[in-house]
Structure 1
Amino acid sequence: MRLLVAALLGSLVGMERERLLWAAGIRTHMLVSVGACLTMIVSAYGFQNSIQQPHTVLDPARMAAQVVSGIGFLGAGSILLRGNSVRGMTTAASIWSVAGLGLAAGGGLYFAASVCTGIILVILAGMKPLEEAYRARIQSCTFRMRSERGAVPFDQLKKVLRVRGGQVKRIEVQSVEDDLDDTTILLVRVSQADIRAGAARLKEMPGVQNVKVSKKGSRKL
Structure 2
Amino acid sequence: MNDPWSIDLFHITLRLLLSMLLGGLIGFEREQSSRAAGLRTHMLVCLGSTLIMLLSIYGFSDFTRLDHVQRDPARLAAQVISGIGFLGAGTILYTGKSITGLTTAASLWVVAAIGLAIGAGFYYASGLACLFALISLFGLHVVEKRYMAHKRTHSLRLEAADIPSLLGRVSHLLASRGCDIKKWSVEEIPGEQPDRMIQITLELRLTKKTSPAQTIEELLGIDGIRAVSMD
TM-score, structure 1 as length reference: 0.69
1:151-205 Cα shifts (integer Å, max 9, x gaps): 6795x98777559xx945337599x999xx989573534425468798899999x
Q: In the aligned structure 2, how far is the partner of 1:173 from the partner of 1:83?
A: 17
Residue matched to 2:184: 170
1:13-51 Cα shifts (integer Å, max 9, x gaps): 111122233343222222211111111112122233323
Structure 1, unmatched stretches of 5+, are 217-221
Q: In the aligned structure 1, how far is the partner of 2:218 from the partner of 2:41?
A: 51
Task: Out of 127-136 and 106-115, give the one that drifted further.
Answer: 127-136
Pair 1:16-2:29 in alignment: yes
Residue matched to 1:60: 73
Aligned residue runs from structure 1 range 26-65, under 5 A: 26-65=39-78
Q: In the aligned structure 2, how far is the partner of 1:103 from the partner of 1:152?
A: 59
Pair 1:91-2:104 in alignment: yes
Q: In the aligned structure 1, how far is the partner of 2:171 from the partner of 2:78?
A: 55
Aligned residue runs from structure 1 range 141-160, under 5 A: 141-142=155-156
Q: In the aligned structure 2, how far is the partner of 1:44 from the partner of 1:81?
A: 39
State the SS of the aligned residue for 2:230. Answer: strand
Pair 1:215-2:226 in alignment: no
Alpha-carbon contact 1:47-1:60 (below 8 Å) kept:
no
Q: In the aligned structure 2, how far is the partner of 1:39 from the partner of 1:108?
A: 13
Structure 2, unmatched stretches of 5+, are 1-13
Higher relative CO (CA 8 A, sep ≥ 6), structure 1 or 2? 1
1:80-112 Cα shifts (integer Å, max 9, x gaps): 455655443322222221111111111111111
Q: In the aligned structure 2, how far is the partner of 1:173 from the partner of 1:56?
A: 69
Amino acid at match of 2:105: A
1:135-166 Cα shifts (integer Å, max 9, x gaps): 4233345485979x766795x98777559xx9
Amino acid at match of 1:55: H
Q: In the aligned structure 2, how far is the partner of 1:126 from the partner of 1:119?
A: 10
Task: Out of 86-95 and 35-44, give the one that drifted further.
Answer: 86-95
Q: In the aligned structure 2, how far is the partner of 1:11 from the partner of 1:167?
A: 41
Alpha-carbon contact 1:13-1:120 (below 8 Å) kept:
yes
Alpha-carbon contact 2:149-2:208 (below 8 Å) kept:
no
Alpha-carbon contact 1:79-1:92 (below 8 Å) kept:
yes
Task: Label 1:182 to 1:10 Cα distance change in 2 as closer, same or farther (>3 A).
Answer: closer
Q: In the aligned structure 2, how far is the partner of 1:82 from the partner of 1:173?
A: 20
Q: In the aligned structure 2, how far is the partner of 1:94 from the partner of 1:130?
A: 18
Task: Label 1:146 to 1:67 Cα distance change in 2 as closer, same or farther (>3 A).
Answer: closer
TM-score, structure 2 as length reference: 0.67
Count of matched residue positions in the alignment of Structure 1 and Structure 2 = 209
Pair 1:186-2:199 in alignment: no
Pair 1:136-2:145 in alignment: no
